[in-house]
Amino acid sequence: MKSMKVRIIAIALALAIIPALTVFGSGKKEVVSASKEAGLYGEAVKEAVQKLDKDAHQLTESTIVIHDNTEKIADSESLEDELRAMAEKMHIASDKLRHIAKQIHRHIAEVEELTKEAKAGKAEYKEPLDEIVEHLGKYAHILRGNHDLVHKILFRTPESHAKYADATHDSLHKAERIVEHLGKHAQELAEIIGVSIAKLPVKAQVFPEQYIRMYDKQGKLLRLAAQQVANEAHGHICVCSAIGFRVTQIAISQLWGQELPTKGQLKVSYHHPGKGHKDVFKYLLGPENVTYKKAGDPRHLTLAQHYTYVFVRKDTGATWKTQMKEGVIPERFFDLRYKVKGFLIGWHKKKPTKAKKVAFKIKFNKSINNILGMEASEIFEAVSQP
């Protein structure tokens, strides 16, 4: 009887042990599999962190170039005070950029330390990644806020210090690209880890660069950028201000050739009702040299009625008349202008859909890109290739 009890106990123990062994064995396989997966996961994370670190070092280098070169312009007593003041303003801004770049480095280092901790969770990664994106947004905001300033420095700096202005300008645009890369790589790392982080704010639209050279009435050479003129004359760049700038630029080329005019020597008459045209023409030519002649219906613009211009060189009487060509303004732009802008102005009461607003904005930006980016002969009639 005693031996029977012993056998029963032994069987019970065996039955208890078998499931435990099964669970243990299965668990061991899972641990091995998880360990292998974690290894692959860790390598992907480390690779992404390396990209962030490389970008951050490049951002710091570009920031230092801006800082050092603006200092050289600001400290040069041979330059005009206004130029030195602008350089000093950018130099101070670069100090803020350097501080932000250091913060970005610090948070990347935090992420790098987390890769060494096997038990680091998603929450631990999320916090420094969010901080990186937040600081990138601040950095980008400062760059955008000083975009026009850097271009003014570039155009007003004489040959003696041109290399410093060029280095500042090139580094600003390089820093813009690096910020985009950093934001992209931060998102990639977040996806690998499986966390959701804030997205880097979309940068403002940047259009092709164009500039006009002319002398002011005191004989000083002016180098005026399209976006700079649009911002100062009209408050922002738009289709009208871009056209006003570009057609004036080409008129100068047509009427002066390789020579440069003095401000006040060129006059224009035009038919477009937009304020951007008027503001830019008055800024570039002087109010006394700008004549608007009403034509057609301002709600329904046409190339023949509203995009024709007559420029006259006052000292010689030479005249250049031109009209914008088909295809520069994208198809359906005028229709969308009436539906979207027309509603805001009060031309009609039908509220445009969000899709129409987005479509108009895309065509609006495309128009500016075409006007500032296309060859002169592709934009206006009677303009030949240089």
Could you tell me the CATH number of the domain that includes residue 282? 3.30.1330.130
Residues 129 and 52 in one domain: yes
Give the phi and the psi of residue 369 in degrees, each rounded to 5.
Answer: -60, -45
**Per-residue pLDDT, 203:** 57
Other Cβ atoms closer than 10 A to 112: 16
Mean pLDDT on 203-220: 84
Q: 44 or 328, which is more confident?
A: 328
- Extract the tokens encoding 273: 């009702």
Residues 219 and 185 in one domain: no
- R_g over Cα of the chain: 32
Residues 112 and 216 in one domain: no
Q: What percent of the chain has pLDDT over 70?
A: 86
Could you give the strand order of the β-sheet that contains 319-323, starting from the edge strand earlier in sequence? 290-292, 266-270, 308-313, 319-323
- Extract the tokens encoding 72: 């050289």
pLDDT greater than 70 at residue 133: yes
Classify residue 138: in a domain, yes or no: yes
Q: 37 or 65, which is more confident?
A: 65
Residue ending a domain, choose from 149, 165, 193? 193
**Helix ranges (DSSP H) in the chain:** 2-74, 81-114, 122-145, 147-156, 162-193, 226-234, 239-256, 275-285, 303-306, 333-345, 354-373, 376-379
User: What is the domain extent for residue 51?
Assistant: 30-193
pLDDT greater than 60 at residue 32: no
Give me the half-sphere count of Cα atoms (radius 13 Å) on the Cβ side of residue 227. Answer: 18
Residues 226 and 292 in one domain: yes
Mean pLDDT on 45-65: 92
CATH code assigned at 96? 1.20.120
Mean pLDDT on 293-297: 94
* Number of domains making up the chain: 2
Q: d(Cα 101, Cα 115) in Å, to the nearest integer? A: 22
34-38, 122-126, 188-192, 312-316: range with highest mean pLDDT: 312-316
List b or e across 311-320, with b for residues whose CB sees 16 or more CB atoms inside 10 angstroms.
bbbeeeeeeb
